[in-house]
Chain A
Amino acid sequence: MSELYERYSGIVYSVALRVLGDTGAAEDILQEVFMKIWRGPNLFDENRGSLAGWLAVIARNRAIDALRKRQPESDIADVVVAIEPDMVRSADWSRALDKIRSALAGMPVPQRSALEMAFFEGLTHTEISEKTGEHLGTVKTRIRAGLKALRKAFEQ
């Protein structure tokens, strides 16, 4: 468990902190996620890809639930994340991070902003549309395009 914590606590904590903007609340999410793994050691299925990617998504979902003060929407065991398993194990990790960050930096601001509002703030497309005053269809298109750009950047 210590090894697992050593390796992945930074990911869970950083994501929760980015969503919640509060260290105490992020620590709660960290505790919650690791306790779930401790209690249900078979929750993560290796066929689901990278543990880092899975933990990042789980941490984000739990943090959004906490942000919106709602009950968890889905069981973490049901979350399947298809991501290259070796990505975060390899020495290329920092290079991979650079790729992601530069893909984000290269996006048109409204696209990046729509994607971040949906992902890190947990806003629905309706809420984003209301907040930005943009058409619902435009918001949807921007989110989709943003995700595509991320995938493309990583596939290169």
Chain B
Amino acid sequence: MSMHEQLSDDLSLYALGALEGEERAAVDKHLAECPECRQEVARLRGDLALLALSVSGTKPPLRSHQRLKAAVAKEPRPIRPGRVPSRNWLRPFEWVVAAAALILVLLLAHQNRDLQRRISDLEVRSAAQQQKAAQAEDLLAVLNSVDAQHFTLVASKTPPQPEGKAIYQRKTGTLVFLASNMPQLPPLKIYEVWLIPASGAPIPAGLFKPDAHGGASVIKPPLPLGVEAKTFAITIEPEEGSAAPTSQPIMVGAPG
């Protein structure tokens, strides 16, 4: 029989406090190492509590309560009196708690109103932005559409001329380029738009092939921010485009 089995027989006597001397010391030592037996001792004490509770029912005399109250009054109040329901120690501060709760409610109500106002502001702004975005999308859709008809109006009796229009915003690096009456390209060639800066080499600003009517557009090609444009130019480049112009410009613009 192991030590564990031998001692487990003595646990009920231990829980009763009926073991003495070496027997008791042996159980103490074992309990220090054996959570299972500690649990069993606790359960046995639970059984003993039932035995103790079987005799309950006699009220102590009133003087006992008076005596306890007098003793308690002489001692400083502890921070938290045991397992008395927690609201008990709060009782003297109930009005403070109630006031704090009221303030909290008012604060939350105020915050709520503020949040509601901000939400409705945001809703209005969001609606306006959505409208603008929808307009921009419509515009781009028309510009990019294959079936949109492009007309270039020139003086009467003048044959239509190739024409490019570049609208450029420096700070955002945004370019919208529209072209009309562009001659058809030879095979394996493409038109390339160039941003000609005030100083430095031309910067590639998009590729395009004209449609059957000579119309084309380049919308927001990738460009660095903040570059001041002296003008824009167009060259004919190999179909994959070039990093630097490989031919003379066929069209060059001027601010206007």
A residues near B (Cβ < 8 Å) are: 1, 3-5, 9-15, 17-18, 23, 26-27, 30-31, 34-35, 37-44, 46, 48-54, 56-57, 59-61, 64, 73, 79-84, 88, 96-97, 100-101, 104, 115, 118-120, 122-126, 128, 140, 143-144, 147, 150-151, 154
B residues near A (Cβ < 8 Å) are: 9-10, 12-13, 16-20, 38-39, 41-61, 63-65, 67-68, 71-72, 75, 78-85, 88
Q: How many inter-chain residue pairs (CB < 8 Å) link A and B?
A: 183
Q: Which 7 A-B pairs have the closest CB atoms?
A: A53-B49, A56-B52, A83-B46, A82-B42, A13-B60, A41-B82, A14-B58
Residue pair A41, B50 in contact (C-beta under 8 Å): no
Residue pair B49, A83 in contact (C-beta under 8 Å): yes
Which of B54, B79, B82 is within 8 Å of A44, CB to CB? B82
Residue pair A10, B60 in contact (C-beta under 8 Å): yes
Taking the nearest CB of chain B, how far is it from the CB of A93, in angstroms? Answer: 9
Residue pair A38, B38 in contact (C-beta under 8 Å): no
Taking the nearest CB of chain B, how far is it from the CB of A60, in angstroms? Answer: 5
User: How many Å lie between the Cα of A60 and that of B38 in the bound state?
Assistant: 20
Residue pair B53, A140 in contact (C-beta under 8 Å): no
Taking the nearest CB of chain B, how far is it from the CB of A67, in angstroms? Answer: 12
User: How many Å lie between the Cα of A73 and that of B57 in the bound state?
Assistant: 27
The contact sample of 19 A-B pairs, CB cut-off 8 A, is A1-B81, A11-B52, A13-B58, A15-B55, A35-B68, A42-B80, A52-B53, A53-B49, A53-B53, A54-B49, A56-B52, A82-B42, A82-B45, A100-B54, A119-B51, A123-B18, A126-B20, A147-B47, A151-B47
Taking the nearest CB of chain A, how far is it from the CB of B209, in angstroms? Answer: 80
Residue pair A37, B71 in contact (C-beta under 8 Å): no
- Contacts A27-B64, A81-B46, A124-B19 given: A38-B72 contact, CB under 8 Å? yes
- Chain A neighbourhood of B55, CB < 8 A: 14-15, 18, 120
- Contacts A1-B84, A31-B71 given: A13-B45 contact, CB under 8 Å? no
Taking the nearest CB of chain A, how far is it from the CB of B29, in angstroms? Answer: 15
- Chain A neighbourhood of B53, CB < 8 A: 11, 15, 52-53, 56, 88, 96-97, 100
Which of B18, B38, B61 is within 8 Å of A124, CB to CB? B18
